[in-house]
Amino acid sequence: MITKQYIPLAIWGAFLIATLGVWGVIFRAERGVLTVAFLDIGQGDAIFIETPHGRQILIDGGKSSVVLPALGGVMPWYDRTIDIVLATHPDQDHAGGLPSVLLQYDVSFVVENGASHDTRAYEAFLRAAAQEESSGARRGIARRGQRIVLEENVFLDILFPDRDPNGWDTNDGSIVTLLSYGQSTFLLTGDAPIGVEEYLVRAYGALLDADVLKLGHHGSKTSSSQIFLSAVSPEYAVVSAGRDNQYGHPHKEVTDRVKDMGVPTFSTAESGTVVFESDGGNIRVLGTSFSDVE
């Protein structure tokens, strides 16, 4: 007599989740799509990147744990790993949400600019990064000339800082990165001010040309100079800022400057999370609204 054996529902559920996850990665890889999502986390920066083969990077995490539900909008709920977390600089609206991310996700590599800062937000980030390191994560200090190979044909190049930023204003030491996939490029500037932009133009010139530019410092007039915008010559610009924020970001002189260049600008304050997809040649813009944060 053959006895039927029933597999518990929980095991079927785990099998289904794993299968869906594998097929999701395979489908993305077959499409050859890179995703770059500028998350709606209020007044701050948080950029989620996923490569065609599923490598995941988070650049900054906003000022609070609001980043967690925003990540839940672009990652499967069962995915609890992130390959790289990068904090561009110590300010709370960039690093404040990262301790929550490091607590909730298994992170393989934590990158920072090496600046020491005595704010509670950054101290919490450094403690969380040290805890992640004790669990096996690697830690690194970003410097100009480094290249992080995410997978074949997908690179994250560090353009700045070029030296130890200790003693600088925190914005001056922002990590500036260039994400490239095939012919598609994304220039991600943190809160880099005009002085840093001028340095980048002198150091890189036409190499700064990028398809998508995240406007520095949430569209503040302290960034996005005309000489920098002309060097980058973006096809699209993005502002990461909170709705009706107290700073008046983005500033009108910046948005006018970009508008005069005929560059479409997307703002998380107006559109929610803004998602770009690239096949290595063409870029598609998706406007979404995963969260509603003032």
List pLDDT tens digits, range 89-101. Answer: 999 999 999 999 9
User: Alpha helices of 140-218 — where are they, by DSSP H?
Assistant: 194-204
Q: What is the pLDDT of residue 118?
A: 73
Q: What average pLDDT does the structure give for the chain?
A: 87
Among 149, 57, 67, CA closest to 107: 57
Rounded to an integer, what distance in angstroms lies between the CA atom of residue 31 and that of residue 233?
A: 28
Q: What is the DSSP letter of 35?
A: E
pLDDT digits (tens, 9 = 90+) for 37-84: 999 999 999 999 999 999 999 999 999 999 999 999 999 999 999 999
Q: Which fold has domain 33-287?
A: Metallo-beta-lactamase; Chain A (3.60.15)
Between 292 and 39, the more confident residue is 39
**Is residue 30 very low, low, confident or very high in pLDDT (cuts 50, 70, 90)?**
low
Identify whether 8 is preceded by a cis peptide bond (ω within 30 of 0). Answer: no
Whole-number percent of the chain with pLDDT over 70:
87
**What's the one-letter identity of residue 21?**
G
Query: 3 is written with which tokens?
Result: 């006895």
Contacts of 279 (CB under 8 A, 6+ apart): 31, 32, 33, 34, 182, 184
What residue ranges do the domains of the chain occupy?
Answer: 33-287
Q: What is the CA radius of gyration of the chain?
A: 20
Rounded to an integer, what distance in angstroms lies between the CA atom of residue 63 and that of residue 218?
A: 13
**Is residue 287 very low, low, confident or very high in pLDDT (cuts 50, 70, 90)?**
low
Residue 220's φ and ψ, nearest 5 degrees, are -70, 155
Query: 182 is written with which tokens?
Result: 């095939």
Q: What is the pLDDT of residue 245?
A: 85
Among 211, 192, 212, 214, CA closest to 203: 192
* pTM summary value: 0.88
**Is residue 108 very low, low, confident or very high in pLDDT (cuts 50, 70, 90)?**
very high
* Range of weakest confidence among 13-27, 82-96, 145-159, 247-261: 13-27
Contacts of 129 (CB under 8 A, 6+ apart): 102, 110, 112, 137, 139
Q: What is the pLDDT of residue 189?
A: 97
Rounded to an integer, what distance in angstroms lies between the CA atom of residue 166 and that of residue 172?
A: 10
Rounded to an integer, what distance in angstroms lies between the CA atom of residue 208 and that of residue 169?
A: 24
How far lies 66's CA from each of 69, 107, 294, in Å? 6, 18, 11
Rounded to an integer, what distance in angstroms lies between the CA atom of residue 247 and that of residue 183?
A: 35
How far lies 150's CA from each of 108, 153, 181, 202, 287, in Å? 13, 8, 10, 27, 25
Helix, strand or coil for residue 186? strand
pLDDT at residue 29 is higher than 70: no
